[in-house]
Amino acid sequence: MSLHIGDTVPDFEADTSKGHIRLHDWAGESWVFFFSHPADFTPVCTTEIGRTAQLSAEFAKRNVKPLGLSTDTVDEHKKWIDDVNDTQHTTVDFPIVADHDLRIAKLFDMIHPEESATEAVRSVFIIDPDRKLRLTMTYPMNVGRNFDEILRVIDALQTVDRSSVALPADWQPGGKAIIPPDVTDEQAKGLFPQGWDEIRPYLRMVDLKS
């Protein structure tokens, strides 16, 4: 199955390291950071699971629930989590989906045959509270994710929703935003009474902190 931005993500039921879940019910009113791993007890995955746990407060303040997936069993996950906690000096408290039959990995197109027929590539799915897919990233099996970028894009998506703006290259929280071209100047006066800088008629920069 090929998922596109804006699609409603497929629901599924699965056993996890924290018990049985149904994705849509488990998500509740939160955003979801759903990310896959090739296998338990592998070095890059161990650092990524650990980094997610270390950033638990950052995810929580953004109303984001992390959800991992690996193509191993619940028992293996639980043993691996002990290793993650020990080696990464953290406490993993989010669920990791057990997907030993590859059912969910195939549903979300995480199996790339040129990489592996039995292990998931490092896929990222950012899902909003309406169960819509808002962003995807795919890393090869041997390259770890950039968690600063994951937090940045979550901030960006939430800023876009909150302020009806677009965001420029390399945007960081607190940086200037772009007034979308389909917003007229008259509409913009109501949305952005603080004013804006018009670089071109199609490129209007606004400071959201004002």
Q: Which residues are known to be catalytic?
A: 45
Which positions ≥6 away from 47 have C-beta within 8 Å?
88, 144
Q: How far, in whole angstroms, is CA 156 from its chain's centroid?
A: 12
CB contact at 8 A, 140 and 122:
yes
Report the length, in residues, of the chain.
210
In whole angstroms, give the CA distance from residue 203 to residue 200.
Answer: 5
Q: How many CB atoms lie within 10 A of CB 7?
A: 13
- Distance from C-alpha of 133 to C-alpha of 13, rounded to nearest angstrom: 18
Q: Choose among 50, 55, 142: nearest CA to 87.
A: 50
Paired with 21 in beta bridges are: 14
Task: Give me the amino acid identity at 168.
Answer: P
Half-sphere exposure of 28 (CA within 13 A, CB side): 7
Q: SS3 of 170, please?
A: coil
Give the pair of three-digit tokens for residue 7. Answer: 């699609």
* CB-based contact 129:27 (threshold 8 Å): yes
